[in-house]
Amino acid sequence: MSVHCQADDERFSFEAFTRHPFFTEVNRWIVERVIGPGRRKIVDLGCGPGAVTKLILERLGGDARNVEVIGIDPSPSALSKARAAIHSQVVRFMEGSAEWVSRIVSAADAVVFLNAIHLVPDKAQVIAEIRKTLNKDGVFAFNTTFFNGAYVEGTGAFWRRWVVRAVQVLRERGIEVKHSDHAVARQFLTPEEYSDLCVQAGFARPSVDLVRIEMPPESMRDIGRFSLFIEGALPGVPLEEGSAALEKGLERAMDETGVCAVPRNWLECVARAP
């Protein structure tokens, strides 16, 4: 099975994770700051199964009539979930990727790219592409919890222990994890590095905030069943085995540390096109 097909296996969807209230909170935080009157053409880049698209529509409320919301994602299975979940005349979903978004949409007033920028290998290229899709005074908003600064003090050991225990479970089942497969996209940038990339792409220096939430154990179980998370944590491991090992590894890490809910930071960044 190719990596793309594997990532697109709908049994390993992001949807279950999106139902946790803290996830709505970190996304609503940024949607409320960038979506409002005057934003007529809005791109939900990396829309996945549509959780953020719903928040955009909720934010627009009765003002949605003359608005166009375009959800873009490279995953056909995520897009079919989004299409099944959202029936609105102002929304359309398209298959595509951030790397060539300016060839799909132009003259946008807002591009939101939530919980996805860490997956992109060439972030400078993608941010420059996003700049090209925006109108003057357009806004680019992104958030991520996979950045250098995501771990709240004292919790780094727990996150590392989870992966170590999952690798141990795999080894017990005769599966080796090849560390050399670690994707470039999984490199964690600092908030300053993200901010500099925006400026280099022609944006005004962005506002950067950290929002701290508590992740309950069920949310960690759910993210451990998401294809792109499994591929990031356990590169090269088949999804079925990876997901089972992350579940067992989580149990072991929690038993050993007595940790239950774990705090974590979300980076929230808003850049304006001059």
Ligand X SMILES: C[S@@+](CC[C@H](N)C(=O)[O-])C[C@H]1O[C@@H](n2cnc3c(N)ncnc32)[C@H](O)[C@@H]1O
Residues in contact with ligand X by the rule CB under 6 A: 14, 18, 27, 45-48, 51-52, 73-75, 78, 97-99, 114-116, 119-120
Give me 214's structure tokens: 């508590």
Instruction: Tell me how far, at minimum, the Cβ of 153 lies from ligand X, in Å.
Output: 25
Tell me the C-alpha distance between 273 and 124, whole Å: 15
Instruction: Tell me how far, at minimum, the Cβ of 57 lies from ligand X, in Å.
Output: 14
Closer residue to ligand X, CB minimum distance, 116 or 167: 116
Give me 64's structure tokens: 């949605």
Instruction: Tell me how far, at minimum, the Cβ of 143 lies from ligand X, in Å.
Output: 8
Tell me the C-alpha distance between 228 and 239, whole Å: 9
Report which residue's Cβ sits closest to ligand X: 48
Instruction: Identify residue 247 by its one-letter amino acid code.
Output: E
Instruction: Tell me how far, at minimum, the Cβ of 186 lies from ligand X, in Å.
Output: 12
Instruction: Tell me how far, at minimum, the Cβ of 45 lies from ligand X, in Å.
Output: 6
Instruction: Tell me how far, at minimum, the Cβ of 252 lies from ligand X, in Å.
Output: 25
Decide: helix, strand or coil at residue 137: strand
Closer residue to ligand X, CB minimum distance, 81 or 254: 81
| HEC assignment per residue over 199-227 | HHCCCCCCEEEEEEEEECHHHHHHHCCCH
Instruction: Tell me how far, at minimum, the Cβ of 261 lies from ligand X, in Å.
Output: 21
Q: CB-based contacts of 34: which residues, under 8 Å, 6+ apart?
A: 110, 112, 139, 141, 270
Closer residue to ligand X, CB minimum distance, 35 or 119: 119
- Of 179, 177, 181, 146, nearest to 241 by C-alpha is 177
Closer residue to ligand X, CB minimum distance, 99 or 241: 99
Tell me the C-alpha distance between 222 and 20, whole Å: 9
Closer residue to ligand X, CB minimum distance, 143 or 195: 143
> 108: which strand partners?
134
Closer residue to ligand X, CB minimum distance, 78 or 245: 78
Closer residue to ligand X, CB minimum distance, 119 or 273: 119
For 89, which DSSP code? T
Tell me the C-alpha distance between 120 and 161, whole Å: 26
Tell me the C-alpha distance between 141 and 272, whole Å: 9
Residue located via tokens 């990596």 = 3
